[in-house]
Every structure is written in structure tokens, then in C-alpha cells.
Chains A and B, each alone.
Chain A
Amino acid sequence: MSPLLDVRNLRISFPSRQGPVEVVRGVSFTLGRERLGIVGESGSGKSQTGRALLGLTPPSGRATADRLEFDGVDLRHATPKTWRSLRGARMSMVMQDPKFSLNPVMTIGKQLIEAVKLHGGKAEARDKSLAMLEAVQIRDPERVMAAYPHELSGGMGQRAMIAMMLVTEPDLLIADEPTSALDVTVQIEVLRILDNLVTQRGMGLIFISHDLHLVSTFCDRVLVMYAGQVVEEIDAADLQNARHPYTRGLLNCLPKIEGGVRPLPVLTRDAAWLKAGG
């Protein structure tokens, strides 16, 4: 079976005064109906990779690739119409902070129903939305439907966001640091909901995070990105046996309850990593 997503040599550059700066430099991977984690520090290009898959590279940037295919559709030359038929219906994205990613002057219900209506199902849009809110374990969906984003807590908002992105039953979900704006206690809850829904519906998931530990427990496979390149691709279960010095460095930085080194080692970077490539 051909993979859901096939990315070969993805490059994203932004213009600057010193000429174009490449923030993603030749990323390649394939994704089936599985959970793929992308980890890396700030500025490693993981978010831009995620956005490029949805054609949402900011207008000033330029994304090129040797191959960028979603379920047999070439995304490199997709027309706005193609994009609209894919986005929402077949691929969607949960963003970092529900405070900013939900429209502040529209009720949750209106935003949810809009998503349903865009991809057919006008008649039962409301029922579908209510059912979806229940699926993300919101106890009184009627109230949440009538609420504005600022009236919800972060955890509730993110659950509503997940509901909005999954209500159309897409094949691929990109979760761009979906829990980093939430309280630690709520994080686990939201992740569990996300995990259940993704597994139940058999979607492909790209989970972007800077939290190596979280990614390893939550995903099947992990891509480690450094400076716009994939430095290591590894099964989540094998993460302890990672070979690349950057991944090892990241792992060593994590505090351990027993047998840890104090102070924690500082991440060392090697200029050679920049050239090596994944």
C-alpha cells in the first residue's frame, strides 16, 4: 500500500537582508496510518514542516520539494481549490494555543458547524458537532456550543479545537505542540483524548513537540530535527538506543529521579551536524 504522505527533500526558505535563509533543509519521510513524532528545539523547522504539508507556509516563504504527495495527490502544484477540498476534509491541524487559534468573536458552535458544513452534511451539522464535543469528553456540549472562546479554559478550548479538526474525519492530523500551552495536569487528559480518537479512527498523526519524553510515549516513530534537517529517525521504543549525538544530548538533558547527573549536562552542538543531513 502506498503511504498516506510521502515527503522527499522538503526545503523551506524565507527571504532576509542577507539573502534567503533556509529553515527546512531537505526533510524526507513517509507516513502511513501511524503516529509520527517530530521533535527538535525551537527554530529547528518542525512547525514549518508541519505547515508546509498543509500549504500554509507564510506568503513570504517558499517551500519546494522533490516530492510532496498526500494519498496520491501532488501537493506541490495544488490549486487553491484542491487545497480547500483537502484541508479540513482530509487533513487538518491542531495548533498550540486555543486562545489564539479560535476566532474570538464567533461562538464555538458556529465555528464547529462551519467546519462540518464546508464538507457536506448541512442538515445534521449541529448534531454532528454536539456528538463531536461529547467525543472529546466535554460534559455539557450545549453550553460549550453557545460559549465564546474566552469563556472556556485552556483545556476546554483545546478540546473544542480538536473536535473542530476531527469532526470532518480527516485522514491526517497534524498536531503542532497541542499541549504546550496547557497546564501539566490537563496535558495528559487532552493527549489521551487525542490518542483515543486517532487510534479509533485510524488516522495518520504527525505530532510536533519539543518534549522528547512525551513524544516517545505517545508515538510509534520519532523524527529528530536539528537546524532544519532530520538528524535521526528512530522507533519510539528504541529511543534509549539513539545513536546521533544530538538525540543523545537531548536525552541526557532530561532530569531523572534516580541516578541522574547533577548539574544536568548542557547540550553540545557540532558544526558537522549541519552538513551531515539525516
Chain B
Amino acid sequence: MTIQSEGRASALPGWLFKLGKLTATVAFTLFGLLLVTFLIGRVVPVDPVLSVVGDRASPSTYEKVYLELGLDRPLYEQFYLYAKKAVTGDFGESLLTKKPIISDLARAFPATLELATVGIIIGTLLGIPAGVWAAVRQGRLIDQLVRIFGLVGYSAPIFWLGLMGLLLFYAKWELVAGPGRIDISYEYSFTSTTGLMLLDTAMQGQWAAFRNVVSHIALPACLLGYLSMAYIARMTRSFMLNELAQEYVVTARVKGVAEWRIIWVHALRNAAVPLVTVIALSYANLLEGSVLTETVFAWPGLGQYLTNSLQNADMNAVLGGTLLIGIVFVGLNIFSDLLYTLLDPRVRTRL
């Protein structure tokens, strides 16, 4: 017992070191991200003054705003000011909505977050068993079916799948609600606290509204779930094939371990290590705002917000959104790294 506690104590500085390294990495990454978005904002051929004052402003107004925006100062100073504001969450105002970018993002991001989360849950819950099953029955019918099903998910254009889904499940069979997040008649039956409608309605006991939200999210979430499932199932299959060929699987068989336990406990527990990264990456992919899905389903999320802003040369909004996506990406990477360490004892000691 004493030896064990010694082991724990010596592991602690390792964690501290890791934490410090992590913080430095994150800070550096975010700084880089900020710099890149700032530079993009400066090199695009959109005059920030013109976007503010409009085409018909007098030269004196133009001059005044030009100075106000600090465009006469050197680039590094401009970046300093931009960064200082960005740290406090001030990305300026959107031209389109006339609201602060940050509040626009706070409205659009939860929509994307909700859709992506439901999507990745569907994709993971279906993708892992499908992949495991295909690996265990390698070369058999079920394996081929999973592969074909996955291949369709890979190669069919998502907007086409989305439109076909709407056509069949919404227009023809009326199984689900149509585009949008919620019917207008329910929209004001609850107060938005988290911005995640499934959570908000459930917490306030508005079950009729909850069912409506479920009905709206079902189709796009299934679609995104299908796409991520195709990827997750394929990766799970190959990781599992690799694990099932390992010697420790033979050891487990020699011990008399039941086949289901060998597959779902021994092998999958090992395959879970690289799978974490796969799932995190596809989640990040969905969170970046699936522009096409959000467009087809009129989903007021990040992807749609960014597309609209881009089309209207609303650079503040675009930069803010880009930065947010970057932060989400970095955050997810850290999260998957942590999970990785948790799942794999070999990584844990190597720190």
C-alpha cells in the first residue's frame, strides 16, 4: 500500500507539468489563431470603413471613421487593439444584424452544438457496434453490408440526402417536422436559458414543445449521425481487426473468457484508445457547422450564420465565427488528448 501511494505522489508533478504544457500550448494556439484571423481581415479586399459608413458617405465621414477604426496606425498596434478587444469577447458589431457579434454567436452556436451533439451520439452509438460486428464477421455478409452502407454515407452528397429525407419523411409520410428548429407556435412557450432547445424545454417541463423540437431535429441529426457513423464504423472495424489479431486475445481465449467478453471488453477497450480521436474529430467536423445541412434544413446555426455573413462581406462576423470554430477545435483536441491519457495507461506513465 505504501508503495502505491508513493506511485501516486510521484505522478503528481507529472500532471502539473502536463497542465503547464497544456496551458502554454492552448495559449500559443489561440494567439496564432487570432493572428491569422486578424491578417485575413486585413488582406481581404473589403474596405472595413466602407462597410461601416456605406457607399455614399462624404470623404470627411470616411476620414473620421478611418481614424476611429485605428487604420492609420501600424499593423502591430492594430493587432494589439484587436487582440485586446477579442480577449474581452468584443468582436465589434455585425453589419447584418446590427448586434454585437458575440451575442449573434451565442444565438447561433447552441443550435449547431445541439444538432452536432445529437448527430455524434447517433453516429457513435450505431457506428461502434456496426464496426465491431463487421470486424468480428470479417468478409461475411454483415461486413459487406456495413461497408456498402458506409460507402453510401461517404459518397452521397449530403444536400441530396437531406432533400430526399425532407421529401420522404416530411412531405410524403409526414413522420417528422420540416425545416427549422421549432414551430413558431411553440417558440415562445418556454424561455431560452442554455440555447439548447431540447434541454430548455425538458427542464421547464414543456413536453409538447420538447416533442416538437425532437421532431425537428430528428431528420438533420440522423443525417449527420449517418455521415459520422459511416466514418466511425469504418475506423472501428479496422481498429478492431487489428486488436483481435493481437496475442492478448489468444491469452483471453486460453483463459476461457467468453467470446463476447473478449470482443467487447478486451479488444474494444484497446480499440477505444485510437477511436477517441476519430470520434472527437468527427464531432469537431459537425461542430464547425455543416453548412449544407444547415442550409437545407434552414437550421439557424453557425454554418448558416457564417455563410450569410460571408455573402454580405460582414468581416467582423466572419472573423468572430472563425475564431469560435478554432476555439472549439482546440478544446476538443485537448479533451480527446485527456481522454486518451485516461484510456491508455502506457501514455499515462510516459508523461
Contacts and interface: CB of A to CB of B under 8 A. Distances in A.
Interface of A: 51, 54, 56, 80, 83-89, 92-93, 95-97, 100-106, 114-115, 118-119, 140, 142-143, 146, 148, 150-151, 161, 164-165
Contact of A95 (B247, B259, B346): B247
A102 B266 CA distance: 10
A89 B256 CA distance: 8
Nearest to B1: A142
Interface in B321-351: 343-346, 349
A114 B259 contact: no
Contact of B4 (A80, A146, A151): A146
A109 B289 CA distance: 46
Interface in B244-289: 246-248, 250-259, 266, 269-270, 273
A151 B248 contact: no
Given A104-B248, A105-B344, A148-B345, A142 B4 contact: yes
Q: Which A-B residue pairs are the 6 nearest by beta carbons? A: A88-B256, A100-B247, A87-B256, A148-B345, A103-B248, A88-B255
Given A56-B253, A142-B4, A150-B346, 16 more contacts: A84-B256, A88-B254, A95-B251, A96-B247, A97-B247, A104-B248, A105-B270, A106-B266, A106-B269, A119-B256, A142-B3, A143-B3, A146-B4, A150-B345, A161-B251, A164-B255
A165 B254 contact: yes
B351 to A, nearest CB: 13
Contacts of A118: 255-257
A80 B259 contact: yes
14 contacts: A54-B253, A95-B250, A97-B247, A100-B247, A100-B248, A102-B251, A104-B248, A105-B270, A106-B269, A114-B257, A142-B1, A143-B4, A164-B251, A165-B254
Contacts of A164: 251, 255
A166 B74 CA distance: 76
A151 B345 CA distance: 9
Nearest to B349: A151
A213 B251 CA distance: 27
Contacts of A150: 345-346, 349
A150 B258 CA distance: 25
A3 B264 CA distance: 38
Interface string B192-229: 00000000000000000000000000000000000000
Contacts of B3: 140, 142-143
B255 A115 contact: yes
Given A103-B270, A146-B4, A148-B345, A114 B255 contact: yes
Contacts of A146: 4
Interface string B269-311: 1100100000000000000000000000000000000000000
A103 B251 contact: yes
Of A87, A96, A105, A148, the most chain B CB neighbours within 10 A belong to A105
A84 B260 CA distance: 12
A172 to B, nearest CB: 11
Nearest to A96: B247
B256 A104 contact: no
A16 B36 CA distance: 56
Contacts of B349: 148, 150-151
A146 B5 CA distance: 11
A101 B247 contact: yes
A105 B345 contact: yes
A43 B246 CA distance: 20
A226 to B, nearest CB: 25
A101 B255 CA distance: 12
Contact of B254 (A92, A100, A106, A119): A92
Contacts of B257: 84, 88, 114, 118
Nearest to A95: B247
B247 to A, nearest CB: 4
Contacts of B247: 95-97, 100-101
Contacts of A89: 256
Contacts of B346: 104, 148, 150
Contacts of A56: 250, 253-254
Contact of B345 (A83, A95, A104): A104
B266 A103 contact: yes
Contact of B270 (A54, A84, A104, A165): A104
A102 B248 contact: yes
A87 B251 CA distance: 10
A162 to B, nearest CB: 12
A105 B4 CA distance: 18
Contacts of A103: 248, 251-252, 266, 269-270
A100 B257 CA distance: 17
Of B247, B258, B270, B344, the most chain A CB neighbours within 10 A belong to B247
A6 B93 CA distance: 85
Contact of A101 (B1, B250, B258): B250
Nearest to A146: B4
Nearest to A85: B256
Contacts of A165: 254-255
A213 to B, nearest CB: 26
Nearest to B259: A80
Nearest to A102: B248
